[in-house]
């Protein structure tokens, strides 16, 4: 089979609409209940064949360790296929802020798998995709089950491995705001655990109703994020960003994932652009759209 000399792939970000974190399980992990939805903010992977074995990743924006999410995905792909996988070089151009709760690293891993499928002329089974995700990261399960371009929406539960696709909305504009705060996923879960131990739990809609609620107007959603109160208490910049978004008249305002990106949802483009211009002087923000 003739291989191309260069493969270019977009890795789209995701946001969480509703994120219910359940108490710590006996295996020390948490189950979640959430809607994942991709948006048009993306990283760009350029993959070329290498004369050397393995996967080498270069990213000017990040000081990545030699072993990272992309190398883990590459290795897992080799383990679960009979294909002779060539060595590759990956140039990663970041458009998704790292550590912002937007799933950039996980989406990058899934994008690399799409490239390797094309490179080797394969179409992986769901079992193979889940094997790779299990070796790579919990959010990777969602991105592995998106469409051929890495876009989509799903109900996500368990550790992230339980995926039920739902209709992806194309009509929502999101004003993403990036507070100058880095909170690790580990820290965020510890903060939520502390709240749960003190008897404080965020009341989220029933998981069985999420898809039906998501089809409604954003102002009627009532979605929550279990991480938001805990992180707002520790990081005032997150709370301030959420408060500013609420003042713009956004139809729905929340934090994505375990933070620290927050966002406002609009259905009218003119209002979204106006609010983006309003906040641009004070905040690092970008206007995005669901895809």
> In this structure, what are the phi and psi dihedrals at residue 29, rounded to the nearest 5 degrees?
-95, 170
DSSP string, 100-153: SSS-HHHHHHHHHHHHHHHHHT----HHHHHHHHHHH-TTHHHHHTS-TTS--E
- What's the DSSP call for residue 23? P
- Asked whether 35 and 153 are in contact (CB, 8 A), the reply is yes
CA dihedral 210, 146, 98, 287 (to 10 degrees): -70
- What's the DSSP call for residue 171? S
Q: Which two tokens stand for residue 220?
A: 């009627």
- What's the DSSP call for residue 62? S
Residues in the chain: 291
Percent helix / strand / coil, the chain, rounded to 5: 35, 25, 40
Q: Which of 130, 139, 151, 239 is catalytic?
A: 139
3-state secondary structure of 211: helix
**Nearest by Cα to 19 from 174, 141, 178, 192:** 192
User: Annotated catalytic, 139?
Assistant: yes
Bridge partners, residue 46, by sequence: 8, 91
Q: Which two tokens stand for residue 211?
A: 């898809």
Residue with the two structure tokens 């994120």: 19
User: Annotated catalytic, 27?
Assistant: no
Q: Are strands 173-177 and 285-289 parallel, antiparallel or unpaired?
A: antiparallel
Residues taking part in catalysis: 14, 139
């Amino acid at each position: 089979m003739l291989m191309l000399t260069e493969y270019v792939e977009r890795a789209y970000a995701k946001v969480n609409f509703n994120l219910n974190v359940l108490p710590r399980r006996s295996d020390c992990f948490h189950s979640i209940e959430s809607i994942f939805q991709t948006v048009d903010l993306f990283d760009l992977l350029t993959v070329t064949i290498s004369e050397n074995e393995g996967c080498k990743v270069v990213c000017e924006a990040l000081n990545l360790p030699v072993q990272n999410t992309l190398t883990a995905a590459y290795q897992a792909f080799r383990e679960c296929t009979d294909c002779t996988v060539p060595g590759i070089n990956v140039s990663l151009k970041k458009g998704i802020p790292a550590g912002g709760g937007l799933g950039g690293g996980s989406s990058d891993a899934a994008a690399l798998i799409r490239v390797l499928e094309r490179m080797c002329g394969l179409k992986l089974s769901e079992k193979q995709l889940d094997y790779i995700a299990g070796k790579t990261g919990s959010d990777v399960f969602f991105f592995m089950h998106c469409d051929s371009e890495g876009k989509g929406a799903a109900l996500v539960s368990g550790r992230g491995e339980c995926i039920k696709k739902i209709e992806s909305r194309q009509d929502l504009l999101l004003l993403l705001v990036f507070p100058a705060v880095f909170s690790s996923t580990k820290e965020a879960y510890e903060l939520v655990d502390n709240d749960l131990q003190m008897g404080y739990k965020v009341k989220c809609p029933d998981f069985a109703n999420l898809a039906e609620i998501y089809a409604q107007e954003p102002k009627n959603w009532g979605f929550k994020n279990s991480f938001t109160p805990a992180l707002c208490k520790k990081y005032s910049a997150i709370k301030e960003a959420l408060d500013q978004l609420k003042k713009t008249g956004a139809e729905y305002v929340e934090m994505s994932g375990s933070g620290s990106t927050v966002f406002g949802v609009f259905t009218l483009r003119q209002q979204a652009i106006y609010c983006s211009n309003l906040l641009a002087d004070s905040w690092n923000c970008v206007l995005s759209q669901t895809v």
